[in-house]
Amino acid sequence: MKYKSLNEAFVSELSELKTSGSLVKARGSNQLEKVFVNFEISNPTDINVTVESRKFNQRYAIAEWLWYLSANSKVNNISKLASIWKDIQDSYGEVESNYGSYIFSLDKNFSRSQWSWVVNELLVDRDSRRATISINQPYHKEKNAKDYPCTQYIQFFVRDNRLHVGVSMRSNDIIFGLCNDIFTFCLFQQLMLNELNDRGLKLELGSYFHHAGSLHIYERHFKMMDNILNNLKEEYSSEKLLLKQGLTYKKLLSLRSEISSKELTKKEIFSHVDKAKGDLFDV
């Protein structure tokens, strides 16, 4: 399926779950599920979910992305905005699902991050099929049983002078996981576009491709699903979120835009998010 926006993808895939999902019981709860789901979003800047019953919090979604930019797995700040992070932390106050810790941290075996490796790979070979970033690792099978990363890998392609990105998820909750994850990955797509254009490639933004091994909705969200599908609108308002041209990962860090590990109050975190939104995005 091909969609114009995250809004459209969310509503359409939710409807598909309702009508053709299978009832399964996994990890102690009932769910509706479809397996091996694939779709495309043609505009990776149209990523604000405005479906009323979903109550998507864009400020939180930006905060989560800024936390990923920090590449710091500590949850002392992000858990003040979403309790799930506190629920799945380990004894060190860390989680496995800070994607930035895999994307931007230096690899133990060589002196650059997966992010910088991908940038270099696409600069050397625009047609490369190797521009991948691995998230889920073999050691996760034995590390933190409460947090087994849902994302398998991210892959970048330059085709017809456009930068496309595809993300493979082993598991995706459509209510919270899908919306926040796609929001995050589309911002990483925009950031990679800036990295490559900053080095002279002059690319355009392509499509975002999503694959979920299991796309599901938990029983506790069935009522929300019914509210959304029973009150569909012909057109949902959209708020495009476009990263400013020229902002690369290093430039973002120089602006101190990421969520630091310094202890912050909830009010301070949101104040930081509001400032970052003004500094980083052309809305």
- Answer yes or no: is pLDDT of 283 > 70: no
Where does 112-236 have alpha helices with state H?
A: 114-124, 179-198, 222-230
So what's the pLDDT on residue 27? 80
The Cα–Cα gap between 51 and 229 comes to 10
Confidence of residue 28 (pLDDT cuts 50, 70, 90): confident
> Residues 2-25: pLDDT tens digits?
999 999 999 999 999 999 999 999
Contact 131/115 with Cβ under 8 angstroms?
no
Q: What's the N-to-C CA distance of the chain in angstroms?
A: 27
* CB neighbour list of residue 191: distance below 8 Å, 6 or more residues apart: 243, 247, 248, 249, 252
The percentage of residues in the chain with a pLDDT greater than 90, rounded to a whole number, is: 91
Which residues are bridge partners to 159 per DSSP?
162
Q: Which strand (E) or helix (H) includes residue 87?
A: helix 84-87
How far, in Å, are 58, 84, 140 from residue 242 at the CA level? 14, 28, 34
Residue ranges of domains in the chain:
2-282
**Domain 2-282, classified CATH 3.90.1150.10, yes or no:** no
pLDDT in tens, 153-206: 999 999 999 999 999 999 999 999 999 999 999 999 999 999 999 999 999 999
For 82, list phi and psi in degrees, rounded to 5.
-145, 115
CA 164 vs CA 58, 206, 236: distances in Å: 23, 5, 25
Average pLDDT (73-83) is 97
CB-CB neighbours of 111 under 10 Å: 7
Q: How confident is the model at residue 111 (pLDDT cuts 50, 70, 90)?
A: confident
Give residues with Cβ within 8 angstroms of 119, minimum separation 6.
Answer: 192, 195, 196, 199
Region at 279 (left for phi over 0; alpha for psi -120 to 50; beta for the rest): alpha
CB 162 within 8 A of CB 204: yes
Mean pLDDT to the nearest integer, 86-115: 91
